[in-house]
Structure 1
Amino acid sequence: MGKNIQLTVYGAEVLCPSCVNLPSSKEQYEWLQAAIGRKFGEDAIQYKYIDIFKPPEESQYKEFAERVVEEDMFYPVVLIDDEIVGEGNPKLKTVYKALEERGLEPQA
């Protein structure tokens, strides 16, 4: 299996204006976690959810949360390690591809 991979989702309780008919950021985070766990297992990925309006004090999270707000990015914004792989309505196919590029293999 691949190395330990960090998947971070930046979102908010309030839906982004362009995402009215989509699930909330938190619901999409939980959906991604479940879908990825089914395909790749639970061990190789660490998950973190960051509220863009109440980010933790660690500068990396705080700075990116501010960037999401300032640049009017569609949220949730999904990062694998430090690469943006989804914005607004993340696509599983794109997320899976990014995970496979980092050495993860689907479970049999």
Structure 2
Amino acid sequence: MKKEVEIFVYGAEQICASCVGMPSSKETYEWLDAAISRKYPEQPFTIKYIDIFNPPEEEKHRLFATHVIEEDLFYPVVTIGEEIIGEGNPKLKDIYKEMEKYGYEEVSPK
């Protein structure tokens, strides 16, 4: 593995108006954490949830949270590095593809 990936899931308690019927941002975050951990066991990564209406003090997160709100992006918005990998209903396939660019490898069940 080249570099440990940091995944950020930007969302809110309230489901976005265009995403009614989909899981909440927090549920998506938890689902992604579990799915990625199963796909890449023993390959460390970090996944963090960022509330767009109450972001942490770190400037990059505050700026991106503001961007999500001002640009009316469908949340949750999933980022790896500086790239938006998915929004609204992120696809695991896209997230896995991005992680494999960083050297992550699927571990086949024994």
Q: How does 1:26-41 map to 2 (within 5 A)?
A: 26-41=26-41
Q: How many equivalent pairs are there?
A: 108
Matched residues in 2 for 1:44 and 1:97: separation? 16
Q: Secondary structure at the match of 1:33?
A: helix
Match of 1:20 in 2: 20
* Over 4 Å off, 4+ runs: none
- Counterpart code for 1:73: L
Match of 2:8 in 1: 8
1:42 deviates by 4.9
**Does the CA-based 8 Å contact 2:6-2:45 persist in structure 1?**
yes
Q: Secondary structure at the match of 1:29?
A: helix
TM-score, normalization by structure 1 = 0.96
- Counterpart code for 1:85: I
Choose 14-23 or 36-45, whichever is displaced more. Answer: 36-45
**Does the CA-based 8 Å contact 1:2-1:44 persist in structure 2?**
no
**Does the CA-based 8 Å contact 2:33-2:47 persist in structure 1?**
yes
Q: CA RMSD in A?
A: 1.0
Q: Secondary structure at the match of 1:97?
A: helix
Q: Secondary structure at the match of 1:66?
A: helix
Check if 1:85 corresponds to 2:78. Answer: no
Q: Which runs of 5+ in 1 are unaligned?
A: none
Question: Could you say if the C-alpha distance between residues 97 and 89 of structure 1 is closer, same or farther in structure 2, counting changes exceeding 3 Å?
Answer: same
Matched residues in 2 for 1:92 and 1:105: separation? 14
TM-score, normalization by structure 2 = 0.94
**Does the CA-based 8 Å contact 1:11-1:75 persist in structure 2?**
yes
